[in-house]
Amino acid sequence: MTAAITFIGLESSCDDSAAAVVRYTPGAGAAILSNVVAGQDLLHAAYGGIVPEIAARAHAETLDLVVAQALRDADVRLRDCSGIAVTAGPGLIGGVLSGVMCAKGLAAGAGLPLIGVNHLAGHALTPRLTDAVGFPYLMLLVSGGHCQFVRVDGPNAFARLGGTVDDAPGEAFDKVARLLGLPPPGGPSVEAMAVRGDPDRVRLPRPLLDRPGLDLSFSGLKTAVLRAWEGLDAPTAADRADLCAAFQSAVRDVLAGKTARAIAAADVPLFAVAGGVAANRAIRDALAAVCRSAGVRFLAPPLPLCTDNGAMIAWAGIERFRLGYRDDMTLAARPRWPLDAGAAPMLGGGRKGAKA
Ligand code: KG4
Ligand code: ZN
């Protein structure tokens, strides 16, 4: 029998410094031995968004501690690992650079193979880590920095079927929350208010839903919320709840409508969703219902593996390692790195990093 493969994975492309140890045993599958995430919410709270320089500095200061913790939790020594995987992009360049430099140091010090991973590939391969699914499948990455439909045909074969042309949905949730004076993080705040609101009192647009194709847009929706809010004389708590409900329904309808279309276009037996927005109950339920009526399996990995984490990077590293990929000390940090090199480039920089 072939020996087990144990990887440590490092992630630092946005505002989470993360490290995890994952082991793949032929015949037995994947096991997450540890998964450590150090967030930076408090550091950025005063600024209303992520400050790239603060994020980079925090990653540089925190990563080695997070790595040590991940090894301790897993009860694994660095020299017993088979290799080190690190997010090499896309993302905020200072953070990606911190991770790549840390991983290079560890690889050189311990004499281990180094593997650079595309952050989006980490998200896209997560269903294979959690549920050992086969190829092909369709993935919706939907968070504060990402929104795209990807057909996953192999560990290194991704077809981008469509995505946002401006904001990511999580970014829109965060902006709407700020606009309405709700506390961060925006998604859960808006969702909690929406439960109490009437989604039909204010009619908001469903951007691009009436157009063919799989591209999405959320920036106009946020502006529509702003107009509706400014149109109120003395807004009440009920007005706020109604606007949250209307906004959430609009995002839900757009994501559900485009998902139905993406499933038809991709012709796959499984649809999986990942990213912070997948935590939204109304959106998740709507996507599950779309899958039921299309007759495809629906998969939403547990939330700690949907949001940014080191386990998905370790796993993507193992997948690449098994295919024979190796990087060396010339591995570069890339602010932009499209998953599907053949797809048209995306617009916009994105508050939470590059939208690849
Ligand atoms: O995946 P994630 O932790 O980080 C990245 O953006 O990469 O996603 C965070 C995003 C934030 O924009 C947050 O507001 C949104 O996901 N989010 C939600 C919910 N929980 C988190 N959006 C809608 N409803 C939620 N319950
Ligand atoms: Zn991410």
**Is any ligand 1 atom within 6 A of the Cβ of residue 353?**
no
pLDDT at 1: 55
**Phi/psi class of residue 142: alpha, beta or left (left: φ > 0; alpha: ψ in -120 to 50)?**
beta
**Is any ligand 1 atom within 6 A of the Cβ of residue 193?**
no
CB 73 within 8 A of CB 34: yes
**Is any ligand 1 atom within 6 A of the Cβ of residue 85?**
no
**Is any ligand 1 atom within 6 A of the Cβ of residue 188?**
yes
Which atom from ligand 1 is nearest to the alpha carbon of 14? 7
Rounded to whole angstroms, how far apart are CA atoms 107 and 160?
A: 32
Q: How many residues does the chain have?
A: 356
DSSP E strands: which ranges in the chain? 5-11, 16-25, 29-39, 83-89, 114-118, 137-142, 147-154, 157-163, 270-274, 297-299
Task: Output the CA 275–ligand 1 centroid distance in Å.
Answer: 7
pLDDT at 38: 85
Burial state string for 157-181 with b = 16 or more CB within 10 A and e = fewer than 16 = ebbbbbbbbbbbbbbbbbbbbbbbe
pLDDT at 346: 59
pLDDT at 340: 87
Pairing verdict, β 5-11 and 114-118: unpaired
Pocket test for ligand 1, best of 14, 15, 119, 277 (most atoms within 8 A of CB): 277
Task: Output the CA 280–ligand 1 centroid distance in Å.
Answer: 8
pLDDT at 165: 96
**Is any ligand 1 atom within 6 A of the Cβ of residue 14?**
yes
**Is any ligand 1 atom within 6 A of the Cβ of residue 280?**
yes
Verify cis geometry, omega within 30 degrees of 0, for the bond prior to 136.
yes
- Three-state secondary-structure class, residue 113: coil
pLDDT at 47: 80
pLDDT at 345: 59
CB 50 within 8 A of CB 44: yes
Selection from 324, 322, 253, 265 nearest residue 290 by Cα = 253
Quote the radius of gyration of the chain (alpha carbons, Å): 20
**Is any ligand 1 atom within 6 A of the Cβ of residue 308?**
yes
Q: pLDDT averaged over consecutive 10-residue blocks of the chain (356 residues)? A: 91 93 97 92 79 86 96 97 97 94 97 97 96 97 93 96 96 94 92 97 96 96 96 94 98 98 97 93 97 98 92 98 97 93 59 44
Ion ligand 2 residues within 5 Å by Cβ = 308
